């Protein structure tokens, strides 16, 4: 259990392909140092949300990974470079509980845009 402000660094990784695995992502970050945990965000069906958190025990190694990977590496099956930055406390809250309605940014995390259905022509609309 790390105290806030401890030595471990939690890194947010975005723009991941849906097919990426914990092991693949861990291997990328292990090039820079030890990795404590890799956690890929998933929806209720188990589908990747194209974002993950990587925890590294050494802040300097984490900083090196961020500098060398952010917007520079495209994962296998990815369409654009991954985004790598220090996670914020909002990410910590997201990990403990999922609130799909409040995650308006979750659809923009994926490498490919997800079209939204036209509002009035949906076959599943309510008929009153």
Instruction: Catalogue the E-assigned strands of 1-128.
Output: 9-14, 37-42, 48-56, 83-86
Under 8 Å between Cβ of 90 and 39:
no
Task: Go through the chain and tell me how many residues it has.
Answer: 128
Q: What angle do CA 104, 42, 52 make, to 5 degrees?
A: 85
The more confident residue out of 7 and 10 is 10
Fold of domain 9-97: Alpha-Beta Plaits (3.30.70)
In the chain, domain spans:
9-97
pLDDT of residue 90: 59
Under 8 Å between Cβ of 78 and 57:
no
* Least confident segment among 17-31, 51-65, 67-81, 96-110: 96-110
């Amino acid at each position: 259990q790390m105290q806030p402000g401890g030595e471990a660094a939690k890194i947010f990784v975005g723009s991941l392909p849906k097919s990426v695995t914990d092991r693949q992502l861990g291997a990328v970050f292990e090039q820079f140092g030890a990795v404590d945990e890799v956690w890929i965000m998933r929806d209720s069906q188990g589908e990747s949300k194209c974002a993950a958190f990587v925890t590294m025990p050494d802040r300097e190694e984490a900083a090196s990974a961020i500098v060398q990977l952010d917007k520079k590496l495209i994962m296998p099956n990815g369409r654009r470079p991954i985004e790598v930055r220090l996670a914020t406390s909002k990410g910590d809250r997201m990990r403990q509980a999922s609130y799909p309605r409040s995650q308006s940014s979750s659809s923009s995390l994926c490498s490919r845009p997800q079209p939204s259905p036209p509002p009035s022509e949906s076959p599943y609309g309510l008929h009153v």
